[in-house]
């Protein structure tokens, strides 16, 4: 199977869907003339023209509102935020318009739109450009929230998101755009709301999603050298969450560690902890452990970045804690 970059997988998904449906268009800062801030939309202006690949001003609230109106009138916009940190400027349109319009209109208006762009930390970008908002958007009914971790999932999930008649928040990572992975040339779709077991194991389950799952893989490799067999589940979608796949894994391993790049309070790992204790408490041989970021804004210095993010050692320590204590 061919190997392509994460950004190429996203581009292929948008290209294929835009060729299939003339009502789909892409809008955002630098998506057209500059070929995308991260070159995800490279070449798309040449193929689809300026009416379907639209450069916007630095005005997220404004162009998010334009996209909401377009969706209400039968078009299928893809809105690219240069970073989801900037989506806070547009959050009124996302939460109070896109997420609620179907219900408020009594089912008269579907909202077939995708808001996509990078989330969470990406190195030394400072406190205002390093925040993870997956759990914020997942808290809102009316939205679906997708966070792929590899090129294969990114393409299949983005195609599904574009075809969905509800608004989808599609969150990527600046540090994954250059990642390479196997992606079929033939068309495929991945359903929203279905997790996948990425690594089979018997001793402990690690649940994660997005780019931070790489830390789980690295920890699992090190733990295997010590005779600990780790199972890794990639959620892929955090609204809806595939609780069943997590529960079945916990019933097998009897131990759970959740790794998430998010502040500790009221996040996705908190929700999974609650649901596993509610549905599989009798299968647990140890308390569930969450591994999150430090509970502080992320500083600029590289030492702050290192101290802020979950590490391989933290994950290994968490696994050993549920195994041996």
What is the per-residue pLDDT across 127-147, written as a single tens digit (0 to 9) for each? 999 999 999 999 999 999 999
For residues 56 and 23, the answer to whether their CB atoms sit within 8 Å is no
Active site residue 222: no
Which pLDDT does position 78 carry in this prediction? 98
Q: What is the pLDDT of residues 14-68, one digit of tens each?
A: 999 999 999 999 999 999 999 999 999 999 999 999 999 999 999 999 999 999 9
Active site residue 60: yes
Choosing from 121, 153, 182, the residue where a domain stops is 182
Report the SS3 class of residue 76: strand
Set 29, 129, 174, 260: catalytic member: 129
pLDDT of 301 over the 90 cut: yes
For residues 245 and 195, the answer to whether their CB atoms sit within 8 Å is yes
Distance linking the first and last C-alpha atoms of the chain: 44
Which pLDDT does position 313 carry in this prediction? 98
Residue indicated by tokens 């970045």: 305
Do residues 246 and 319 share a domain?
Answer: yes
What average pLDDT is seen over the chain?
Answer: 97
User: What does the alpha-carbon distance between residue 25 and residue 21 come to, in Å, rounded to a whole number?
Assistant: 9
Which pLDDT does position 268 carry in this prediction? 98
User: What does the alpha-carbon distance between residue 256 and residue 259 come to, in Å, rounded to a whole number?
Assistant: 10
Do residues 112 and 210 share a domain?
Answer: no
Query: To the nearest whole percent, how much of the chain has pLDDT over 70?
Result: 100
- The reported pTM is 0.96
Residue 181, beta-bridge partner list:
4
Q: Domain for residue 171, yes or no?
A: yes
For residues 195 and 21, the answer to whether their CB atoms sit within 8 Å is no
Do residues 146 and 266 share a domain?
Answer: no
Choosing from 125, 148, 182, the residue where a domain stops is 182
Q: Domain for residue 190, yes or no?
A: no
Q: Which pair of tokens denotes residue 7? A: 């950004």
Q: How confident is the model at residue 284 (pLDDT cuts 50, 70, 90)?
A: very high
Set 17, 60, 134, 271: catalytic member: 60
In 41-175, the DSSP E strands lie at 53-55, 76-80, 114-118, 144-146, 168-172
The number of distinct structural domains making up the chain is 2
pLDDT of 325 over the 90 cut: no
Q: What is the pLDDT of residues 162-194, one digit of tens each?
A: 999 999 999 999 999 999 999 999 999 999 999
Do residues 151 and 86 share a domain?
Answer: yes
Q: Average the pLDDT over 236-241 and give the result.
A: 98
Which domain range does residue 272 map to? 196-324
């Amino acid at each position: 199977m061919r190997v392509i970059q994460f950004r190429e997988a996203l581009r292929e998904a948008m290209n294929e869907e835009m060729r299939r449906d003339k009502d789909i268009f892409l809008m955002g800062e630098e998506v057209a003339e500059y070929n995308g801030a991260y070159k995800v939309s490279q070449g798309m202006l040449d193929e689809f023209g300026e009416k379907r690949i639209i450069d916007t001003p630095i005005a997220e609230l404004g162009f998010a509102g334009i996209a909401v109106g377009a969706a209400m009138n039968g078009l299928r916009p893809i809105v690219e935020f240069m970073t989801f940190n900037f989506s806070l400027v547009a959050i009124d349109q996302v939460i109070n318009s896109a997420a609620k319009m179907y219900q408020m209109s009594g089912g008269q208006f579907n909202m077939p739109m995708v808001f996509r762009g990078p989330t969470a930390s990406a190195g030394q970008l400072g406190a205002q450009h390093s925040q993870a908002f997956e759990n914020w958007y997942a808290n809102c009914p009316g939205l679906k929230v997708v966070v792929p971790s590899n090129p294969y999932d990114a393409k299949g999930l983005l195609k599904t998101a574009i075809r969905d008649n509800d608004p989808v928040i599609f969150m990527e990572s600046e540090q994954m755009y250059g990642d390479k992975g196997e992606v079929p040339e033939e068309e495929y779709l991945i359903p929203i709301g279905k997790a996948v077991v990425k690594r089979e194991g018997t001793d402990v389950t690690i649940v994660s999603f997005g780019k931070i799952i790489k830390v789980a893989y690295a920890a699992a490799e090190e733990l295997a050298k010590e005779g600990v067999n780790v199972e890794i589940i990639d959620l892929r979608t955090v609204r809806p969450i595939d609780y069943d796949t997590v529960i079945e894994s916990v019933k097998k391993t009897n131990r759970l560690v959740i790794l998430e790049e998010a502040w500790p309070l009221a996040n996705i790992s908190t929700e999974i902890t609650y649901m596993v204790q509610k549905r599989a408490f009798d299968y647990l041989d140890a308390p569930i452990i969450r591994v999150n970021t430090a509970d502080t804004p992320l500083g600029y210095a590289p030492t702050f970045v290192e101290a802020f993010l979950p590490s391989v050692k933290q994950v290994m320590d968490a696994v050993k804690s549920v195994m041996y204590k």
